[in-house]
Amino acid sequence: MGTAVEASNQLNSFEGANVSSVEEKPTVVFVLGGPGSGKGTQCTNIVRQFGYTHLSVGDLLRAEAESGSENGTMIENMTKEGQIVPSEVTMTLLQRAMKQSGNDKFLIDGFPRNEENRAAFEHGTGIEPVFILFFDCPEEEMEKRLLCRNQGRKDDNIASIRKRFKVFLESSLPVLAYYDAKGKVCKIDAARPVEEVFESVKTIFEPNYV
């Protein structure tokens, strides 16, 4: 995978291509990283500075799980086991949120979780992400962060955390490899302090910001 600077250079050359299709469809950036890698914090910073709408797939799924719907019960049970929710369910929630946002620039956080998700999104929407922002963080650091935070999440216990790590490694790495082959992965060292991480993030977004 390329460095942030390399990825930024690749994106500069990519930006000039297919301008009409980019204008016709929403701009999408997939945001990936293990649980506790700091994706959510950095997405908040990107929204504030660059005007994107942040759609956290985890938040959408948790909200649906708490709604009491039939899908919600299924989502809650699968989340407890660290399993990936079926693509059609996730896609429905995502597309609804995109339509309701009123924006045309999206950070889709925690998605695609696997190759099935990726194919379902691209085929279902006709949209390819402009790039993938990958927050790379050692498992030990992510575990420490998750255990220290106080958000009251049911899945922030050691057993669930380790299941989530395992699922991320097994399912998301092939997605990253797929997009890396297309020169679309921007890899960020996420083990550093928040401010330092965002400085690296800005070097990716600013040259390509519209």
Q: Is 192 annotated as a binding residue?
A: yes
Which among 84, 77, 82 is positioned nearest to 161, based on CA atoms? 82
Q: Is 111 annotated as a binding residue?
A: yes
Q: Is 68 annotated as a binding residue?
A: no
Q: Is 96 annotated as a binding residue?
A: no
Q: Is 112 annotated as a binding residue?
A: yes
Residue recorded with tokens 């910001």: 209
Q: Angle at which helices 70-80 and 87-101 pack, to 10 degrees?
A: 120
* Dist CA 41 CA 64 (whole Å): 22
Q: Is 37 annotated as a binding residue?
A: yes
Q: Is 36 annotated as a binding residue?
A: yes
Task: For the sheet with 53-56, list strands across it.
Answer: 53-56, 105-109, 27-33, 131-136, 185-189
Q: Is 83 annotated as a binding residue?
A: yes
Q: How far apart are the first and last CA of the chain?
A: 25
Q: Is 152 annotated as a binding residue?
A: no
Q: Is 117 annotated as a binding residue?
A: yes
Q: Is 130 annotated as a binding residue?
A: no
Compute the half-sphere exposure of residue 123: CA atoms within 13 Å on the CB side of its CA: 8
Compute the half-sphere exposure of residue 186: CA atoms within 13 Å on the CB side of its CA: 24
Q: Is 102 annotated as a binding residue?
A: no
Q: Is 58 annotated as a binding residue?
A: no
Q: Is 41 annotated as a binding residue?
A: yes
* Dist CA 47 CA 61 (whole Å): 21
CA dihedral 43, 99, 20, 110 (to 10 degrees): 30
Q: For residue 145, what are its two tokens?
A: 């962060």
Q: Is 84 annotated as a binding residue?
A: yes
Q: Which residues belong to the annotated binding site?
A: 36-41, 62, 83-85, 110-113, 117, 149, 153, 164, 192
Q: Which residues belong to the annotated binding site for a ribonucleoside 5'-phosphate?
A: 62, 83-85, 110-113, 153, 164
Q: Which residues belong to the annotated binding site for ATP?
A: 36-41, 149, 192
Q: Which residues belong to the annotated binding site for CMP?
A: 117
